[in-house]
Chain A
Amino acid sequence: MLVETAGLTKVFGEVRAVDDLTVKIPDGAIGLVGPNGAGKTTFLRLLLSLLRPTAGTAKVLGRDIEDGLAVRERIGYMPEHDCLIPDMTGVGLVSYMGRVSGLDRDTAMSRSHDVLQFVGVEEERYRKVAEYSTGMKQKVKLAQAMVHDPQLYIFDEPTTGLDPRGRSEMLDLVGTIAKSPGRNVILSSHLLPDVETICKYVVILDGGHQIAAGELSQLLSGATDRLRIDVRGDRDAFVRLLKDADFDADIGPSGLHVSRKPGLEAAVFETAKSLGAEVRYMGKEIRSLEELFLELVARTEKPGA
């Protein structure tokens, strides 16, 4: 297991940032998603052993987070916010972080060149970090997380502030790392398409609680007893007519959702014919992560829904 927690809790005053979190996260590329204040950053800092849990236990790569040094030796952390030392050069900073991680001087320098080349900071590596663009700073942040070649990478909002090209490049880099053997990734992001692109397993947090966790493909495939229908035409009238015909139908962000029942297919096409609408897709309900996320958050906001 990559991460294993049992009743993990962190309380700040009256705020329960992480509340009784019990989760088993397998090796691989893991997405950590949740709205602002869901407890993602607190959870990551608990895993890094930068915070002491109020209650519960956690293991990262099989090591208890109480043993913070051993845990952090195996983790490369890319924080969300700007955190680079502005008056150092790119190569100087990455090499320095390698040495603080425990690499000897020569190895740290050699690896810093390797990882800077990998992230695409080449000629600029001798310039001071203060002169870098946002995209280059993000890449140097990634490089410093890689320099000691950790088993686990923790990326906290790695595409924040990047333009579309920069975002695409960053996702390529993170994706390459995630696919490399022996390396694991926890990607925390509120940009759900990023998580969908990179991760195979996802943990969704809200209010410090885990509201869902599992293989992304399984979570996104909806209930087998429902169909999704894409209709070109008057969708409201389409749903109304299906309901009149005693079918359980509603409109979602990705189309109409209808419960399976004998005679459904015939009813759908009859309704389309009567409205002059076009049925463009009728099949298994597959949600985007965003839809799943909104659905789960709405459920937790309205208990019993």
Chain B
Amino acid sequence: MSITLPTYSRLEIPLLGRRQRVQAIIATGLRKELRRPAAIVVTALGAAFTTITSIVLLFFAPFLLPGQAHDLTFFALPASNGFVLFFVSLMAAVIGSGLIADDMQSMAFTLYLSRPITQSDYLLAKAAILAPLISMVTILPLILTALVAALLGLFSWTIALEAMGISLVVGGLLTLFYTAVTLFLSSLTRRKGIAAAGVFAVNFGLTIPAGILASQINNPSILYIAPWNNYLAVAGAAFGASGTGIDWPQALVILLGVTVLAGIVTYIRMKAVEVISG
């Protein structure tokens, strides 16, 4: 075998900064996900179903919801669309559960950390891969609904634009929550199936029992344990709709608190993994 070392020199081309390195992880991760049939199907179906059902609700609101006022409060309805909960769970499970777990399983995490990036860069990049895809279900349909409503003259542009802004904030909150929680679950295991099951457990395993229990014992404070109920409370308040049985400030604190906590714990977990696997 004849071998010669390439003659290039690193010194001739300065290395790009951390931002570009993180961008490389994000771009490669997104490209990889957008080539996976499962990820494409779930994202496309999620965006389509939530958008279509929200727009259908827009058209049929006078028949389905006779007393519903045509003001900003209307947009609390598409924000509380049950398809959002279903598809956000599905997307988090199909796309997000493997983002860290797969790197643990293949031990590629070591490769990443041997590069000039930090654990927080790695986590930030993984979050930036998942968040835009989740926002296809949590933000995009709400904005499109408000846009269609304004284009069709069903709502004034003032209300529609306000609804779009609020949708961006509440949808963004839900996106951040599911991104943080999904990455946390993904960091706990090398098997993405377990992380995916965890996502469903967090959603349906808490939302359904909380709803049943709260109505059975007539104590709405139990609803706080389900992230979806907290989101509904915050979204309802943001759009000026009537209450959902729990107070939005507490709900907001819970959502933000869990998001931040999940982020911190995932970071600590990432710092510890290299030691354990060594």
- Whether A102 lies near B114 (C-beta < 8 A) is no
Q: Is the CB of A102 within 8 A of B4?
A: no
Q: Is B114 within 8 A of A48, CB to CB?
A: yes
Q: How far is the CA of A172 from the CA of B3 in the complex (A)?
A: 9
**Using an 8 Å CB-CB cutoff, how does the interface string of A167-184 with B read, 1 for contact, 0 for none?**
001001100110010100
Q: Convert A124-160 into 0s and 1s, putting 1 for each residue whose CB lies closer than 8 angstroms to a CB of B.
A: 0000000000000000000010001111000000000
Judged by a CB distance under 8 angstroms, whether A248 is at the interface is no
Q: Is the CB of A144 within 8 A of B15?
A: no
Interface string of B107-143 (1 = CB under 8 A from A): 1111111111110000000000000000000000000
Residues of A with C-beta under 8 A to B110: 79, 81, 83
Assess whether B18 is interfacial by the CB under 8 Å rule: yes
A69 to B13, CA, bound (A): 17
State whether B114 touches A75 (Cβ < 8 A).
yes
With both beta carbons as reference points, the residue of chain B lying nearest to A86 in the complex is identified as B106
Number of A positions contacting B (CB below 8 A): 48
One of A107-115, A214-222, A235-243 at the interface: A107-115
- Considering the complex, give the chain A residue whose CB is closest to the CB of B23: A99
Please pick, from A83, A114, A172, the residue contacting B111 in the complex, using a CB distance under 8 A.
A83
> Smallest CB–CB gap between B114 and chain A, Å?
4
Tell me if A26 is interfacial: C-beta within 8 Å of chain B: no
Task: Check if B118 sits within 8 Å of A144, measured CB to CB.
Answer: no
Contacts of B9 in A (CB 8 A): 149, 182
Residue of A nearest to B29 (CB): A96
Question: Are A103 and B13 CB-contacts (below 8 A) given A69-B116, A69-B117, A79-B114?
Answer: yes
Per the bound structure, the CA–CA distance linking A115 and B4 in Å amounts to 10
How many A-B contacts at CB < 8 Å in the complex?
Answer: 109
CB of A103, distance to nearest CB on chain B (Å): 7
As a 0/1 sequence over residues 40 to 54 of chain A, the CB contacts with chain B under 8 angstroms (1 = contact) are: 011001001011000
Interface size class of B (residues with CB under 8 A): 35 or more
Given contacts A83-B107, A172-B1, contact A69 B18 (CB under 8 A): yes
**Residue in contact with B278 in the complex, picked from A41, A97, A103, CB distance below 8 Å:** A41
Q: For B1, what are the chain A residues with a Cβ–Cβ distance below 8 Å?
A: 120, 169, 172
Which residue in B5, B16, B114 is a CB contact (below 8 Å) of A118? B5
The CB with the most chain B CB atoms within 10 A, among A12, A51, A149, is that of A149
Contact pattern, A 286-305, Cβ under 8 Å of B = 1, otherwise 0:
00000000000000000000
* Cβ–Cβ < 8 Å partners of B162 in chain A: none
Bound CA–CA A182/B1 (angstroms): 24
Q: Which residue of B lies closest to A17 (CB)?
A: B278
B-side contacts of A173, CB under 8 Å: 3
Q: Is the CB of B3 within 8 A of A118?
A: yes
The reply to whether B5 and A103 contact each other, CB–CB distance below 8 Å, is no
In the complex, what residues of B have CB within 8 A of residue A150's CB? 10
Give bound CA distance, A161 to B144, whole Å: 56
Complex Cα distance, B3 from A96, in Å, reads 24
Residues of A with C-beta under 8 A to B116: 68-70, 72-73, 101-102
Q: Which of B10-59 contact A (CB under 8 A)?
A: 10, 13, 15-18, 20-21, 24-25, 28, 32
Q: How far apart are the CA atoms of A45 and B277 in the complex, in Å?
A: 12
Whether, in the assembled complex, B6 has its beta carbon less than 8 Å from a beta carbon of chain A, the answer is yes
Q: How far is the CA of A99 from the CA of B31 in the complex (A)?
A: 15
Which residues of the partner chain B approach A42 to less than 8 Å between Cβ atoms?
278
Q: Are B274 and A148 in contact (CB under 8 A)?
A: no
- Give B residues with C-beta under 8 Å from A: 1, 3-6, 8-10, 13, 15-18, 20-21, 24-25, 28, 32, 103, 106-118, 274-275, 278
11 inter-chain pairs at a CB distance below 8 angstroms, sorted by A residue, are A79-B107, A79-B114, A97-B111, A100-B21, A101-B21, A101-B115, A114-B6, A144-B111, A149-B8, A149-B10, A151-B10
Contacts A69-B116, A79-B110 known; list 10 others, CB within 8 Å.
A48-B113, A48-B114, A50-B113, A69-B18, A85-B103, A102-B15, A111-B8, A150-B10, A176-B3, A182-B9
